[in-house]
Amino acid sequence: MLQDARIRRFATEFACQWLHIYDFDTLDEKSEKHFPEFRDLRGDMYEESIRFFTDAFQRDASVLSFFDADHTFVNERLAKFYGVQVGQAFQPDPIASTGQPGKADLRWARITDLKQHGRGGLLGMAATLAKQSGASRTSPILRGNWVSEVLLGEKLPKPPKGVPQLPEDEAALEGKTVRQLVELHSIDEKCIKCHERIDPFGFALEGFDTIGRRRDKDLGNRPIDTKTKTP
């Protein structure tokens, strides 16, 4: 049964909904000024997730492998975005998407040794990282909350009313990084208990930009700090 081609639908309907990335290929919330390539990549990012889970289910893989997997699936465009070399020829694949603009193309390959590139498992997928980000900046709060509630199953209270919003454009933060603004925001006594539980996860993922690309500096050319202690 696991080898049935319909397992792909299970990967899409179950795994992608679980991770809150269902219909990611239609996501239209990223700044074209800062991330013009996203529209063409979003279908590839979504396809990677579907293929990853289709493969995992067909192999009856452990749930733990979702988090520490050292492999994924890429086409040429996504491999370039991830900065990885594919040591094998891409082959036409009948289960891929249509190849239309913004959709995944027809040639995919399974790659390994992702950890050498600072990726691996769910937390290194562009789709999950991009979905839990803003249009023009990352969001340690969204990413940390996603890890806590979706991956770890915690139930966190809703934020109090009247909490000020952080600036939307990462390139115009007047000398501070997103992390520094979140840290200032989180010292409020009404907020600190939840932020102590979610922010460390989000800070650890600051090495990925708004669309899931590895980075050492933010859009304002400020160095990224990913050091943290898990709650």
- pTM passes above 0.85: yes
Contacts for 97 with CB less than 8 Å, ≥ 6 apart: 25, 43, 47, 103, 104, 105, 106
Q: What's the pLDDT at 102?
A: 45
Q: Could you give the CA distance from residue 226 to residue 142 in angstroms, rounded to a whole number? A: 16
Give the residue among 152, 128, 140, 104 at the shortest CA–CA distance from 211. Answer: 128
Query: What is the CB neighbour count within 10 angstroms for residue 112?
Result: 12
Give the residue among 123, 118, 37, 130 at the shortest CA–CA distance from 84. Answer: 118
Q: What is the mean pLDDT of residues 182-186?
A: 85
Q: What's the pLDDT at 89?
A: 53
pLDDT-above-90 percentage for the chain: 66
Q: Is the pLDDT of residue 117 over 80?
A: yes
Higher-scoring residue by pLDDT: 88, 142: 142
Answer yes or no: are the C-beta atoms of 9 and 53 closer than 8 Å. Answer: no
Q: What's the pLDDT at 6?
A: 83
* 129-169 tens-digit pLDDT: 999 999 999 999 999 999 999 999 998 888 877 777 888 88
Q: What is the mean pLDDT of residues 194-213?
A: 95
pLDDT tier at 98, thresholds 50, 70, 90: very low
Q: What is the mean pLDDT of residues 40-47?
A: 96
Six token digits for residue 74? 């890429």
Answer yes or no: are the C-beta atoms of 182 and 202 closer than 8 Å. Answer: yes
Q: What's the pLDDT at 40?
A: 96
- What are the domain boundaries of the chain? 7-124, 132-204
Q: What's the pLDDT at 119?
A: 94
Q: Could you give the CA distance from residue 86 to residue 79 in angstroms, rounded to a whole number? A: 7
pLDDT tier at 2, thresholds 50, 70, 90: low
**Rounded to whole angstroms, what are the CA distances from 98 to 47, 62, 114, 127, 136?**
11, 31, 26, 19, 29
Higher-scoring residue by pLDDT: 97, 178: 178
Q: Is the pLDDT of residue 99 over 50?
A: no
Q: Could you give the CA distance from residue 195 to residue 197 in angstroms, rounded to a whole number? A: 5
Q: Per 3-state DSSP, what percentage of the chain is helix, strand, and coil (rounded to 5)?
A: 40, 5, 50
Give the residue among 96, 92, 93, 76 at the shortest CA–CA distance from 84. Answer: 76
Q: What's the pLDDT at 192?
A: 85
Q: Could you give the CA distance from residue 149 to residue 142 in angstroms, rounded to a whole number? A: 10
Q: What is the mean pLDDT of residues 89-95?
A: 51
Q: What is the mean pLDDT of residues 219-223?
A: 93
